[in-house]
């Protein structure tokens, strides 16, 4: 069977948008590397480009896709997309992906560039909060020479499958020839790590192709739970649950994306345990990023007369109390709908981004 070498220029990793950059800026080298590799396996050449992207002078047919997936380095997933289907990988070693009677093999522009120019240079996307800059660096270059790690609170090495390290840990690292990480994201002291995880797991949830239950459900749950950490609804036991789930996912998910997507949260939880605890237990964000949108509802214990009128107004059964006792809102159950506010004639249900000191047990009115 004839081979088809597909140059996959579709990157799902918003943190490491290297493929199109390399194809556009080093086209001749990529084309030379692709030609060399294709002749070695006697393959026809095809370029798979994101929709609305065109590059002149390629040495093969160009096809476009509006699909964006971390599985588009997998031959079966690429064959599916070329056939008009959803991207779905197949990872058995002996599995041959076929498109138009040709056996599909996949190469990235990064790998093609390496074939043409050697592997003593690498491309790295350096992200700060306001920009992404792609740099070509020599293997052996210190990470500290590529970006400012000296003042970094944390550095994410790699994108959606990346690992958080501290600034000093990043400063000791060098770029290596073998696959290590293709992006570096620097976080300063004003960046909230929990909020950073919310953004990452929004992207990770979107990127999961949904083929396997473990990755599909976990990405959805992680996204929800980490978001809840920034709105006062998460519990400390959620951290243990994420840790336990991550262990299972890391060997049970079907493809490398699913297996690796747990690393950002597990490494962040390990390095920044205090920050997670602040968010969950104390419902505070020292960086001032979280809880802004989350107005937390509470009952002012100095004003509540214990009439109980608010209880029936709450669709979540989040209000506890009995006649003559100060009523309390269970923050784990409260959905911030605000329906209780109008039920209280005393005007003692209030909102705040940070909860004041409140009773933890049933307290008689007037005894607070």
- Interface residues with ligand SF4 (CB under 6 A) are 70-71, 89, 208-212, 215-216, 253-255, 257-258, 297, 299, 304-310, 313-314, 316, 318-319, 321, 327, 329, 334-340, 343-344, 346, 348-349
* Closest to 296 (Cα-Cα) out of 283, 285, 315: 283
Is 110 strand, coil or helix? helix
Q: Is the Cβ of residue 114 or residue 158 nearer to ligand SF4 in the bound state?
A: 158
CA distance 242 to 245: 5
31 versus 326: smaller Cβ distance to ligand SF4: 326
Q: Least separation, in Å, of the C-beta of 238 and ligand SF4? A: 20
3-state SS assignment for residue 251: helix
Cβ(227)–Cβ(280) below 8 Å: no
What is the C-alpha to C-alpha distance for residues 346 and 326, in angstroms, rounded to an integer?
13
Q: What totals of helices (H) and strands (E) does the chain contain, helices first? A: 13, 14
- Pick between residue 338 and residue 366 the one whose CB is nearest to ligand SF4: 338
Q: How far is the CB of 95 from ligand SF4 (least distance, A)?
A: 14
Structure tokens at 141: 């270059």
Q: How far is the CB of 321 from ligand SF4 (least distance, A)?
A: 6
CB of 38 to ligand SF4, least distance (A): 27
Cβ contact 20:13 at 8 Å: no
Closest CA to 182 of 119, 134, 112: 134
Q: How far is the CB of 193 from ligand SF4 (least distance, A)?
A: 24
Q: How far is the CB of 61 from ligand SF4 (least distance, A)?
A: 27
CB of 158 to ligand SF4, least distance (A): 16
Q: How far is the CB of 132 from ligand SF4 (least distance, A)?
A: 23
Tell which residue, 68, 66, 90, 65, has the closest CA to residue 77. Answer: 90
Would you say 24 or 322 has its CB closer to ligand SF4? 322
Alpha-carbon torsion, ordered 205, 210, 214, 215, to 10 deg: -30
Residue 13's contacts (CB-CB under 8 Å, 6 or more residues apart) are 70, 159, 160, 182, 183, 207
Q: Is 351 helix (H, G, I), strand (E, B) or coil?
A: strand
- Judge contact between 326 and 365, C-beta under 8 A: yes
Nearer to ligand SF4 by Cβ, of 186 and 318: the residue is: 318
Among residues 167 and 258, whose Cβ is nearest to ligand SF4?
Answer: 258
Q: Which is nearer to ligand SF4, 68 or 142 (CB)?
A: 68
- Name the closest residue to ligand SF4 (Cβ): 258
Give 177 or 337: the residue with its C-beta nearer to ligand SF4: 337
Q: Which is nearer to ligand SF4, 8 or 149 (CB)?
A: 8
| Helix segments in the chain, DSSP class H | 19-25, 27-40, 75-82, 109-117, 143-146, 167-171, 193-207, 213-229, 236-252, 256-260, 263-271, 273-280, 339-343
Write down the least CB distance from residue 25 to ligand SF4, Å.
Answer: 29
């Amino acid at each position: 069977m004839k081979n088809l070498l597909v140059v996959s220029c579709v990157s799902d990793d918003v943190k490491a948008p290297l493929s199109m950059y390399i194809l556009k800026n080093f086209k001749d080298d990529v084309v030379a590397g692709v030609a060399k590799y294709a002749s070695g396996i006697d393959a026809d050449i095809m370029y798979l480009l994101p929709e609305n992207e065109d590059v002149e002078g390629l040495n093969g047919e160009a096809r476009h896709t509006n699909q964006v997936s971390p599985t588009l380095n997998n031959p079966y997933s690429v064959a599916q997309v070329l056939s008009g289907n959803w991207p779905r990988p197949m990872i058995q070693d002996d599995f041959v992906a076929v498109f138009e009677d040709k056996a599909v093999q996949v190469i990235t522009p990064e790998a093609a560039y390496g074939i043409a120019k050697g592997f003593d240079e690498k491309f790295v996307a350096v992200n700060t909060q306001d920009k992404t800059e792609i740099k070509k660096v020599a293997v052996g270059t210190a990470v500290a020479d590529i970006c400012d790690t000296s003042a970094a609170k944390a550095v994410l090495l790699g994108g959606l499958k990346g690992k958080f390290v501290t600034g000093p840990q990043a400063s000791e690292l060098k770029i290596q020839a073998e696959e290590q990480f293709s992006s570096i994201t620097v976080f300063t002291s004003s960046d909230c790590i929990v909020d950073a995880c919310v953004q990452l797991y929004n992207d990770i949830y979107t990127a999961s192709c949904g083929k396997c239950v473990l990755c599909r459900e976990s990405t959805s749950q992680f996204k929800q739970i980490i978001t809840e950490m920034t709105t006062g609804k998460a519990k400390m036991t959620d951290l243990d649950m994420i840790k336990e789930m991550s262990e299972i996912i890391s060997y049970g998910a079907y493809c490398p994306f699913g297996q690796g997507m747990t690393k950002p949260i597990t490494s962040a939880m390990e390095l920044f345990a205090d920050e997670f605890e602040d968010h969950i237990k104390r419902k505070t964000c020292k960086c001032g990023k979280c809880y802004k949108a989350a107005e937390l509802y509470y009952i002012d214990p100095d004003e509540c007369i214990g009439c109980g009128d608010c209880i029936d107004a709450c669709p979540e059964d989040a209000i506890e109390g009995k006649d003559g006792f100060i009523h309390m809102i269970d923050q784990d159950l409260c959905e911030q709908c605000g329906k209780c506010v109008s039920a209280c004639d005393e005007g003692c249900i209030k909102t705040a981004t940070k909860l004041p000191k409140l009773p933890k047990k049933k307290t008689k009115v007037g005894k607070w």
